Structure 1
Amino acid sequence: MSSMNREELLARLQVKAKELRRHVVRMTAAAGSGHPGGSLSAADIVATLYFAVLRLDPAHPTAPDRDRFILSKGHAAPLLYAALAERGFFPPAELLTLRKLGSRLQGHPDMRKLPGVEMSTGSLGQGLSVGVGMALAGRLDGRDYRVYVLLGDGECQEGQVWEAAMAAAHYRLDNLVAILDYNGLQIDGPVSEVMNLEPVADKWRAFGWQVQEIDGHDFGQILEALAAAEKVKGKPSMIIARTVKGKGVSFMEHQADWHGVAPKPEQAEVALKELG
């Protein structure tokens, strides 16, 4: 990739991430409920995956060789829906039906309802286990797809995450990449106070994973980490992405209170102005 092409890609990803954030604000405000904080913190990661990395065809959402993305932190569903709509899986106008009766866009993703959703998530701790299964199935079927799992930091307090981590290393699943949205806040407050994860990088390495630590809002670092993960052989990859809860909306940033509270109309207006 030439430097100019790279610059163009980085600029495109910035635009896409900002659009995803705008969708998140509009959707949660219209619904009057939802989880904006953790959706906003992961927007740059998800934009990079959906618009630069994942091999997907919205016209064939169940194609056997597609890459798989699992939103293990299922409460960030508004972000996933925004990415799927922008990628062409369904019309963006449908986003404003979030959490409304009869809508396919439920409070947590439902793989039976919406094309592009690989797993019904919301019960925290389960996504990585399913990712292990998908990665192992790909190997057994002789397919070259890759599996990406986005985890929350509070979610990593669940024991099942570590069982899955152990299994992934045991089976040497180098087609599996986990990404930790490490914004440092969960619904009850700072992760370090609720149940400290540190030294989190050392823990994943001890479980047999290849570990990278990045700024989760630097598109260059995100791209480079994902490219490096593709070259890892014989072990799964963990990308620890340091992020900011509520990123992009000044009054939401670094605030645990915005984990699961939707902005009121006047707050949404301010947020959308900040997001351009």
Structure 2
Amino acid sequence: MADPDTNVEQAPNQSVSNKIKLKAAGMRQGIISMIAAAGSGHPGGSLSATDLVATLFFGGTLRYDAGNPSWPDRDRFILSKGHAAPVLYAALAHAGYFDTAELVTLRKFHSRLQGHPDSQKLPGVEVSTGSLGQGLSIAAGLALGLSMEAAGVAADVIGEAATDTASVAANVTTPTKRVFVLLGDGECQEGQVWEAAMFAAHHRLSNLVAIIDNNNLQIDGSCSDINDLIDLSQKFTAFGWYVIKVDGHDVEAIQSALEAATAYQEGPVAIVAATIKGKGV
């Protein structure tokens, strides 16, 4: 388990960083445009998470195929803070799941871009979210299932019992599908988050990465005034997670954090990202 003050500072490839920054700028423009066209939405929390989501989607970490959204070997991304749907829609549009012109249909009748993500309407949305506190539970269940699937495949190959997942998983040649989940810090006041955190640590879900958008604001005011969690890094560490602290607007640092998170094989990882609500406007 890492020290909760772990910071990652190695610089990734500069051309990749420039690509991420350009995508993030385009995403921010799309977020503002779609919310303005809708006349409602959640700009602050969408903008605070933009650099995090852009780096995940366009830095080479998240495995996906926009032309085949149901690709079996894809990684899964869950937007637990579902009210920040505009940042997910912007990422999906820039990734090629649908045309960016559709962004301005946000929250309109018959639009696929609902106020909260709907997995039945829009390709690329893995899980319908919106009720806060549930995303980490869903992500942990998915991560466990995908780990068991990978272990079962390996068992078939090497002739061992699929129930012995711990020893069999070591023989998996195809990478286990990973699950990334984005949570808000205010959302972490929900008790269900910590039940899921215990579950993930207990099962040593090394294919699970939680990213916390730590902007210290929620709808009723500052998180520290409403229900102070003191230090999210220490809390996730206490629950058995490997923790990385990062500047949530430094794409190079985010990229390095994601690389470190996916390389860690002892259990789940939490990236606690210090962000600014409404960043970029």
1:14-163 aligned at under 5 Å gives the runs 14-52=21-59, 53-142=61-150, 144-163=176-195
Cα distance in structure 1, aligned partners of 2:243 and 2:80: 19
Q: Distance in 1 between matches of 2:253 and 2:280?
A: 18
Q: Is the 8 A contact 2:11 2:256 kept in 1?
A: no
How many residue pairs get aligned? The number is 247
Q: 1:238 to 1:4 in 2, by over 3 A?
A: closer
User: Is the contact made by 2:48 and 2:275 (CA closer than 8 Å) also made in structure 1?
Assistant: yes
1:191–1:5 CA distance, 2 compared to 1 (3 A): closer
Change (3 A) 1:227 1:62: same
Q: Distance in 1 between matches of 2:265 and 2:199?
A: 16
**Separation in 2 of the partners of 1:231 and 1:79?**
26
Distance 1:83 1:63 in 2: 18
Amino acid in the other structure paired with 1:41:
S
Q: CA deviation at 1:145?
A: 1.0
Q: Which residue of 2 aligns with 1:167?
A: 199
| CA drift at 1:230 | 1.3
Q: Tell me, in whole angstroms, the C-alpha distance in 2 between the residues paired with 1:58 and 1:219.
A: 23
* Separation in 2, partners of 1:34, 1:75: 8
- Equivalent-residue separation in structure 2 for 1:55 and 1:227 (angstroms): 13
Q: Deviations over 1:203-241 (max 9, x none)?
A: 100100000101000011101111111121221000000
Task: Determine what percentage of the aligned residue pairs are the same residue.
Answer: 60
2:248 paired with 1:240: no
Cα 1:4–1:210 shift into 2, 3 Å: closer
What letter matches 2:271 in structure 1?
I
Q: Distance between the aligned counterparts of 2:145 and 2:11, measured in 1?
A: 38
TM-superposed CA distance for 1:243, in Å, is 0.2
- The answer for unaligned runs of 5 or more in structure 1 is 250-276
Q: How does 1:153-232 map to 2 (within 5 A)?
A: 153-232=185-264
Structure 1 residue 4: deviation in Å? 11
Deviations 1:49-92 (A, max 9, x none): 11112110011101111010000000000110010011011111
TM-score where L is the length of structure 1: 0.88
Aligned to 1:265: none
Residues 69 and 27 from structure 1, CA distance in 2 versus in 1: closer, same or farther, beyond 3 angstroms? same
Change in 2 beyond 3 A, CA 1:32/1:166 = same
Q: Is the 8 A contact 2:206 2:264 kept in 1?
A: yes
Moved over 4 A (4+): none
Match of 2:4 in 1: none
